[in-house]
A = this chain, B = another copy of it.
């Protein structure tokens, strides 16, 4: 199978894997591992304000004040009992929008993070494009790394130099150093969320594979 990666979904790849490792992908994976029923990604805080149900909200790294939960896997872990069985509505700066964009191009859209790397890799049976959330249209090294990590586990053939670079990076450099040393990692550390950075750098913590279908992210 061919694998590509980048900040945009690419035509010609059946599967899209959305990667926003710090933190939307990791938050979604954790929510479903805690047996939330579904996550509904929305595209703006205004939409989030109007929904009736539990909410996850973040803008520019900070929790939206009217949201029930932040975009934080470790916050969700502390509220595991509340989340079980719930459908959660979610907005984040980059991640939820990336899911909606990927769904316009790819037949199948999965959510990938280091937390569920092996589980996602085992589901990739067709040509796959990793769609990285990045940061304001620029590469975010933690997303490139995570895309490369999953692509390598899946045994994909890189379609371009960028993807080959990501796969080698993920093989040769330690996840936690890359995540802590990243721009996003630094911003989160400054905001007192180093715990999230360390958690998101863990590999294969969960086995759930979130898939986006008909407006909702559910466990596959």
Tell me the A residues contacting B by CB distance below 8 Å: 134-135, 138-141, 144, 160-174, 177-178, 180-183, 185-187
Contact = CB atoms under 8 A, between A and B. Distances in A.
A182 B183 contact: yes
B181 A139 contact: yes
A140 to B, nearest CB: 6
A138 B173 contact: no
A161 B171 CA distance: 7
A135 to B, nearest CB: 6
Contact of A186 (B167, B177, B183): B183
A164 B187 CA distance: 29
Contacts of A168: 164-165, 167-169, 172
B172 A140 contact: no
A210 B112 CA distance: 44
Contacts of A140: 181
A162 B172 contact: yes
Contacts of A169: 165, 168-169
A165 B172 contact: yes
Nearest to A137: B177
B141 A141 contact: yes
Nearest to A166: B172
A2 B169 CA distance: 19
Contacts of A186: 183, 186-187
A167 B164 CA distance: 11
Given A162-B172, A165-B169, A165-B170, 6 more contacts: A138-B181, A161-B171, A166-B172, A168-B169, A182-B183, A186-B186
6 A-B pairs closest in CB distance: A165-B172, A168-B168, A161-B172, A139-B177, A183-B186, A165-B168
Contacts of A182: 141, 181-183
Nearest to A185: B183
Nearest to A158: B172
A172 to B, nearest CB: 3
Given A139-B178, A181-B140, A164 B173 contact: no
